[in-house]
Amino acid sequence: MKTILVLCTGNSARSQMAQGYLQQFARGRADVYSAGTNPKGVNPLAVQVMAEDGVDLSSHTSDHVDKYVGKQFDYVITVCDNAREQCPVFPATAQRIHESFPDPDSLESFRLVRDQIREFSRQFINQKLL
């Protein structure tokens, strides 16, 4: 079983959406976590736009990256530039991947970013886990 950590600054939207899609597309072949360098709580608009696409984030929590220091990950994915710069050091076995998505600030932008993250997540799972 592969392990994946998705990092963002606030762990409120982009990393939460990526976690939701990666879990969905992995279909039990990976344990997926998300965290932030400065967690702010899960954004209700992220929950809303993901629900529109059949992914439930309502039970997700916004966690600090320190919660996972010392845990072994196969992949650490940063989804914003700030998180990449502040990302703690994980064991050398973790492959670090960076894909920056814009920080959404309106319902429309949340939907656009959601769609970008969905496509990235689908491609990632197809390339790394299939």
Amino acid letter for position 92: A
- Per-residue pLDDT of 18-66, as tens digits, reads 999 999 999 999 999 999 989 999 999 999 999 999 999 999 999 999 8
Question: How many domains in the chain?
Answer: 1
Q: Which structure tokens are listed for 17? A: 């959406």
Residue 34 pLDDT = 97
Q: What is the CATH number of the domain that holds 10?
A: 3.40.50.2300
Structural domain boundaries, residue 54: 2-128
Q: Which structure tokens are listed for 116? A: 């970008």
3, 48, 74, 87: which one is catalytic? 87
55, 76, 80, 125: which one is catalytic? 80
Instruction: Note if 104 is an active site residue.
Output: no
Q: Which structure tokens are listed for 105? A: 């600030």
Instruction: Note if 8 is an active site residue.
Output: yes
Bridge partners, 64 (sequence order)? 36
d(CA 116, CA 100): 10
Instruction: Note if 80 is an active site residue.
Output: yes
- Per-residue pLDDT of 73-118, as tens digits, reads 999 999 987 655 665 555 567 898 999 999 999 999 999 999 999 9
